[in-house]
Structure 1
Amino acid sequence: MSSPLFDAHNHLQDYDSAAAAVEALRLAAEAGVELMLCNGTSPGDWEAVLTLAAGNKAVIPCFGLHPWFLKEAPPGWLETLESFLLRVPSLVGEIGLDGGKNASDLARQEGVFTAQLRLAKKLGRPACIHCVKTWGKMLGLIKEEAPGPFLFHSYGGPPEMMAEFASLGAYFSFSGAIMDAGREKLRRALLAAPPDRLLFETEAPSADAPGWRAGPAGLVEVIAAAAKISGRTAEELSALSWANGKRFTGR
């Protein structure tokens, strides 16, 4: 029997309609995707994430304030976030730092990110982290805050930093970006990832691409690409990432 699949990062709430999300979940089930992390990005979508998780046992809800959407957070957002996390078994995410798109407000990003890391630690919840061009700062904050397990989604950092991050509790998820033969550093990172911390993701629906199965079902293509790059079998990587995902989430 083939291993079930674990999609370490998506945004099902971003589909154009509830019907489209339901169809994506149906196709995912047909492809063998039995668990997935659905990440909220701001208070405006947390209720939708909650609803998706309530309607499908494969969906693990994650609630967080993404660095792109700081302006959408009303006063009291952190208390609201805690209330959502306490309503259901869930993770903190998507949170993080982005030195590209929003470099001008990095100081505020850091404050918001740190507050959410502390909340994750307080509640004993894993965290799903977005990091772009801020790897040195990220390492310093993780060392200072010492959170529980955390996941770098669509890891794009230096391969040389992975061992230290792993020693602090990191898991590393890789997306369909590994299919780009020009992303040599990314492929080196895939090969450098500790086997017991390796995960794969679709980031559906934003990363849906021609030729892929739409939605979380596209995880099949991501794992097939990783197998070709690493010299492992798709079945081996599927089983490995399933075990890692279950350990990371405590499911």
Structure 2
Amino acid sequence: MYANLKQLLETVAMGELSPDQALESLKYLHYESVGDFAKIDHHRALRTGFPEVVFGLGKTPCQIAQIMQVMVSKNPVVMATKIVPEVYTQIQPSLRGLQYFPIAQICYLGESAPPKHGCITIITAGTADLPIAEEAAVTGELCGFQVKRLWDLGVAGIHRLLSHQEAIANAEVIIVVAGMEGALASVVAGLAACPIVAVPTSIGYGASFQGLAPLLTMLNSCATGVGVVNIDNGFGAAMLAAKILNRGQ
């Protein structure tokens, strides 16, 4: 890797490559191995606008801690998702300054990203959807965006939603988090001019099939402008909303 970087710099120095062309090459150059189980993509922020994030499920506490230790030296904020309290308790002693959001099940090192223009509005159908909604909210905040939380506005009491029509009409991008049958995303999309990111959750009785029913409802929405992420993927919803807002920076 260092030989490639030296060659790239020499090419720029000789005038055979412009600085802008070199920057494009750097986007795909650098990663770092951690033990024999991970390769950290340090240039992801350069390519995509946001750094790599650690997905906690399926990793041991030791692996999570080692990955975050390597990442924090090269990123202003290092974030890990799906971190249950028991795992946080195990990794916290080896990661000085580690912060934890227990509802969102997110931990992070460092500072949040520099403030960006734009606000992500997040609406939940019910209180049981809060863990996924908070995952989206904390992710958006750590990316540097403002977040407006509108909780428990499900269609079973639609007057609650309609009392926030002004906030919906003025939103730049909306994340709708709903389980059961997932109808809320379609209703919000029928009121809003901005893009809607729909998140089905695994909340609901047996016929919701752990989130499959709201997923299909959202995919079949008759309202326009609805994009759907996977079941319980609050993180993915926030990153999609962040990239939508980033295009206007």
Higher helix proportion: 1
Higher relative contact order (CA 8 A, sep 6+): 1
Normalised TM-score (structure 2): 0.34
Q: TM-score, normalised by structure 1?
A: 0.33
Question: Which structure would you say has the larger Rg?
Answer: 2
